[in-house]
Structure 1
Amino acid sequence: MKKFFKYLYLVLIFIFLYAPIATLVVLSFNRSKSRVRWGGFSLRWYDQLFGSSTIMTALYNTLLIAFLSALIATIIGTMAAIGINKMKKVPKSIVMGVNNIPLLNGEIVTGISLMLCFIAFGISLGFKTVLIAHITFNIPYVILSVMPKLKQITPGTYEAALDLGATPTYAFFKVIFPELLPGILSGYLLAFTMSLDDFIITHFTRGAGINTLSTLIYSEVRRGIKPTMYALSTLLFVSVLVLLLFINRPVKPKKKKN
């Protein structure tokens, strides 16, 4: 009986989490605009979605900003993590504390601060300000992803490579970089996800000439939810689901050669 209630509790949790998403997916194939009446299966909302230049432009901006900001933040964050790791205990603790402030700070504070900073320096709000803002708030996530991998590296490994005749650059890319790669990749994916999902900071730094999916959906919802938003949300959900299944796919162990 106890086991039954455990499974029942688990099922209820999954229903609570995914029933709204399932409803959204079903409505994206509903021929009718009504949210309570089924008008038959149709792909009309997907056809309108891909035919909308506004949505496609917002999607392009979202993916481009997410890709560029995650890439640049990963490069800067990795170099920063290596530098922080070489610091002494007290300066290292201070820098890591400062690094954690953007993570604990409210996004609305970060968004308004960045907007005021851009205005103070006479930078017009647009694509470049959104990109800079996303790079700014992504760097701490990359640092926190890379730092644990740096702590796992044996301190004498790099020096041993140098003693064996390797140049500093060669030793880094052949000895240190492979050890850091899992942390770098996880930092990049986390930064990409955070950029893709961000609304508040983007809203304050985008200006009037650019839209991302989050800001576009917000403006559309204020005027009433259109069924094309159901189709767009369904495609985003399916894309994330496929990516997660691919990343977590079981890997067959390699057979040892005799």
Structure 2
Amino acid sequence: MAERRFSVAGLPGFATIALGVFVCLYLPIVTLVVYSFNGGPSIAVWQGFSLHWYTEAWGNRAVQDATLRSLIVAAWASAIATTLATMAALGTTRRAAFRGQTFIYVMINQPLMVPEIVTAVALLIFFASIKVATGYQGLGYLVAAHSAFCIPFAYLPIRARLEGMDMTLETAAADLYATPWQTFRHVTLPLLAPGIAAGAMLAFVISLDDVIITEFVKSGGQDTLPTYMLGQLRRAVTPEVNAISTALLALTVLLLTAFFLLTRKRN
């Protein structure tokens, strides 16, 4: 008699629970997207299909400024975080095991383990002293804060890519008298490029969507798109917020889809 293998999917009620979880996760998002096309000012009463609120959001000067600011901060933060994460990944994978390696992994991934509100308060106190000493109030603080927070998100796919790479080509390049820089430029970097791109996109999405750290670190008049939306929710909620959320959701899904395509395993 053949032995039956245990399967979680075969347990009673598994399908019902799974369906309920998906409904709880995605029904609010679907509702938000649907009501972003509502013709009236209500976010709860359907008054006909319209693109009015997308037009309103597109022509809103405050939304334009917040969006541009978000893109600038996210672009700089992802570039800096990806560069540092690449160097960290190379330094922790392209060498023999050493004492303190686990501690270094923990320190690099620390922002993932510490509650974000704790990191935000710490950055607020740290940057406040710098603002008082220098008088500088620019976007540099947001870029620095987002860069530090995004490093582990960029580091994980880059490190995973390095660990999955065969070192045969790098060894062959060294045997053919290539210098370490030539080996890195012509062999390691091209092979590592998908991991770097995936890490950059993930860091970009994390920075673009961040609210807590941005809310604590930003100065007056430096709202990003998420903090602008938070401010609007404190006043009067209109389908314009739904339209902005839908556009942000579409951009996030697009980037995460590209991240998945770059990191999936190929036969």
Counterpart of 2:28 (choices 20, 24, 31) is: 20
Counterpart Cα distance in 2 of 1:63 and 1:243: 13
Cα distance, 1:141 vs. partner? 2.2
Please tell me whether residue 33 in structure 1 is matched to residue 45 in structure 2.
Answer: no
Q: Give ranges in structure 2 of 5+ residues lacking alignment.
A: 1-9, 262-267
Quickly say closer, same or farther: Cα 1:106–1:13, change in 2 above 3 A: closer
1:69 Cα deviation (Å)? 0.7
Tell me which residue corresponds to 2:57: 49
- 1:214 aligned to 2:226? yes
Aligned match for 1:234, one of 246, 260, 266: 246
Secondary structure, aligned partner of 2:68: helix
Q: Report if the CA contact (8 A) 2:141-2:217 is conserved.
A: yes
CA distance in 1 between partners of 2:225 and 2:117 (Å): 18
Distance 1:42 1:149 in 2: 45
Partner of 2:105: 96
CA contact (8 A) 1:126 1:205 kept: no
* Contact 2:82–2:196 (CA under 8 A) maintained in structure 1: yes
Q: Are 1:142 and 1:191, in contact at CA under 8 Å, matched by a contact in 2?
A: yes
Measure how far apart 1:46 and its partner are: 1.2
Task: Describe the SS at the equivalent of 1:62.
Answer: helix
Which ranges of structure 1 fall in alignment gaps of 5 or more residues? 250-258
Larger mean Cα displacement after TM superposition, 108-117 or 12-21: 12-21
How many matched pairs?
248
**Structure 1 match to 2:188:** 176
Fraction of identical pairs, as percent: 35
Give me the whole-angstrom Cα distance separating, in 2, the residues matched to 1:171 and 1:241: 35
Among candidates 82, 87, 90, match of residue 90 of structure 2: 82
**Cα distance change on mapping 1:71 and 1:222 into 2, 3 Å:** same
TM-score (structure 1 length as normaliser): 0.85
Aligned partner letter, 1:84: T
Change (3 A) 1:106 1:4: closer
Q: Distance in 2 between matches of 1:114 and 1:159?
A: 43
Deviations 1:107-160 (A, max 9, x none): 111112112212223353431100010111111222222223333344564343
* Preserved contact between residue 81 and residue 146 of structure 1 (Cα < 8 Å): yes
Deviation at 1:243, TM superposition (A): 4.6
Match of 1:225 among 233, 237, 247: 237
Q: CA deviation at 1:97?
A: 1.9
Checking the alignment, whether the CA contact within 8 Å between 2:202 and 2:259 is kept in structure 1 is: no
How much does 1:98 deviate?
1.6
Query: What is the CA deviation profile of residues 41-90 of structure 1, one whole-angstrom value per residue up to 9, with x for unaligned ones?
Result: 22211111111000111111111211111011111110122123336421
2:73 is equivalent to residue 65 of structure 1 = yes
The residue aligned with 1:254 is none
Alpha carbons of structure 1 residues 7 and 92: separation in structure 2 relative to 1, 3 Å: closer
Give the whole-Å Cα distance in 2 for the aligned partners of 1:68 and 1:58: 16
- Which amino acid in 1 is paired with 2:215? H
- In 2, distance between residues paired with 1:114 and 1:236? 26
Which residue in 2 is equivalent to 1:112? Answer: 121
RMSD of the TM alignment (CA)? 2.5
| Greater CA drift, 27-36 or 3-12 | 3-12
Deviation at 1:6, TM superposition (A): 5.8
Residue 206 of structure 1 deviates from its aligned partner by 0.7
